[in-house]
Chain A
């Protein structure tokens, strides 16, 4: 039995006399030890969804099972008890501003009725885990965003949770800090076997850390499965928009609506008409060689790199590129790239 089961969850809010369906018939299973991503645009319902996992929001319909317990069947006290094994971290950290770093970490332990001295001991150990030993007497206002999130993570770990819910935990952080927080989360997942549920609107975060992902749009899960598979071949509209769309929309050639201040020149528009856009995905199968450069030499035509996002993972390039290809050479280019073990797909330039 999966550790987390969402069974036909719906959530309806009543706002100004109107019904708003935040979640519509969502079913998901998350196994113990997984890092599971839930991605969607803002307003898709992902924050509501994650709050159903610890019943901070009670679903209007459907059941939530955590380790076999149906949360809706628990009494208030039992639910509070259960929440101790489901920790949560937030986009804006939500630390107690009037308490020191150490007291923030001690806080959940005191709620559970632990002795102050034991709690402080445990808090100090956790500060070591997140690498902030020297900050124990500081107040949150003295810390950077990344440090605050580390404190929040230490606080979340204090009660020895089995599950960690991350609600846009890296969205307020810069890219480098995001990386270090994601590394810490992965380390926690591996060392303690804690299941992590990541809510985010950033595809990069999903690719960096998650094993599986569910894409939600307008309160529905439109696609779910292994990140690798979905990233390589997104099937749903929302998935394509999240994975390819923003790339195509953000690039000058693929723009359905040109960005502000980015005037299209007439000659560029003419070129657009004779170009097609290819999205190529580097997977394990692709060799680590300068594929694009070699292809240009081989074909003898200039191509337009609209977006490139690749990473070197153990000598294998992984990631994606968006290329503007001259229309009359498309077949040749497609064949060339496919031969090199790349996934090639033509992208509608009006994906938006």
Chain B
């Protein structure tokens, strides 16, 4: 059953899954980190309250988070095609993954930043720190552990989404699990891919938590 053909397919699947997960997480943070910072800073208890800006980003990220991922995947096909040139395959899947992950990441960043002791922020203000300095040197540094913990959760969730994208030709381990396990009743291949997915999530979890603990001096 596990001949060299299947093995090389699974190895390719692992590669695709990692590719989608890592790039989606990376781009997701590229959008989500500023989003989360702006949300935290512009909230009414933030260091630069701005009700209008907060409201817009708040509603926007809630809308995006409310759309089920599979629907988003389909809705975004024209957009994906415009960016990547095609609407299937691993690279194309990264587009909806990023759009789905960014608001989720933004919310986690927002909550991590809001955990920072307001007294420390006040101390920085009393020293004459500017808003940007407070964001970079106080909020992000003090929230570092919480942000890393959040990233660990985010990467696990994105990996799960990437597997879901397999159903619509996204590639990766999820794709294999669906095609062989679900459509062809080859349960052994399905179980093998599921175990691999579990191991990947576990791996990211361990690495992430260790990093978070290493950087925590509280």
Binding site for B on A (CB under 8 A): 54, 56, 80-84, 86-88, 90, 92, 94-100, 107-108, 110-112, 139-141, 152, 159, 165
Q: List chain A residues, Cβ under 8 A from B122.
A: 56, 90, 94
Q: Which residue of A lies closest to B216 (CB)?
A: A98
Are A98 and B215 in touch, CB under 8 angstroms?
yes
Q: List chain A residues, Cβ under 8 A from B218.
A: 97-98, 141
* CB-CB nearest 6 A-B residue pairs: A94-B123, A83-B128, A94-B119, A80-B128, A139-B217, A88-B126
Nearest CB of B to A316, in Å: 39
Chain B, residues 104-142, CB within 8 Å of chain A (1/0): the string is 000000000000010110111111111001000110011
Q: Which residue of B lies closest to A90 (CB)?
A: B119
- If A107-B127, A112-B128 touch, whether A96 touches B119 (CB-CB below 8 Å) is no
Q: List chain B residues, Cβ under 8 A from A56.
A: 122, 125-126
Nearest CB of B to A98, in Å: 5
Q: Which residue of B lies closest to A100 (CB)?
A: B217
A80 and B60 alpha carbons, distance in the complex (Å): 34
Q: List chain A residues, Cβ under 8 A from B129.
A: 80, 111
Q: List chain A residues, Cβ under 8 A from B65.
A: none
B: interface residue count bin: 20 to 34
Q: List chain B residues, Cβ under 8 A from A92.
A: 117, 119
Could you name 18 residue pairs across A and B whose Cβ atoms are closer than 8 Å? A80-B128, A84-B128, A88-B126, A90-B123, A94-B119, A95-B120, A95-B123, A96-B141, A97-B117, A98-B216, A99-B217, A100-B217, A107-B127, A108-B127, A108-B128, A111-B129, A152-B123, A165-B126
Q: Which residue of A lies closest to B140 (CB)?
A: A98
Are B137 and A107 in touch, CB under 8 angstroms?
yes
Q: List chain A residues, Cβ under 8 A from B119.
A: 90, 92, 94
Are B128 and A110 in touch, CB under 8 angstroms?
no
Q: List chain A residues, Cβ under 8 A from B142.
A: 96-98
B144 interface hit (Cβ, 8 Å)? yes
Nearest CB of A to B51, in Å: 14
A90 and B117 alpha carbons, distance in the complex (Å): 13
A98 and B120 alpha carbons, distance in the complex (Å): 11
A82 and B126 alpha carbons, distance in the complex (Å): 10
Q: List chain A residues, Cβ under 8 A from B138.
A: 96
Q: Which residue of B lies closest to A108 (CB)?
A: B127
Nearest CB of A to B177, in Å: 41
Q: List chain B residues, Cβ under 8 A from A90.
A: 119, 122-123
A94 and B127 alpha carbons, distance in the complex (Å): 12
A110 and B124 alpha carbons, distance in the complex (Å): 12
Q: List chain B residues, Cβ under 8 A from A94.
A: 117, 119-120, 122-123
Nearest CB of A to B205, in Å: 22
Q: Which residue of A lies closest to B120 (CB)?
A: A94
Nearest CB of A to B121, in Å: 9
Are B217 and A98 in touch, CB under 8 angstroms?
yes
Taking A94-B123, A98-B144 as known contacts, 4 extra A-B pairs with beta carbons closer than 8 A to each other, sorted by chain A number, are: A84-B128, A97-B142, A97-B218, A99-B217
| Contact among A54, A98, A140 for B141, CB-based, below 8 A | A98
A87 and B122 alpha carbons, distance in the complex (Å): 12
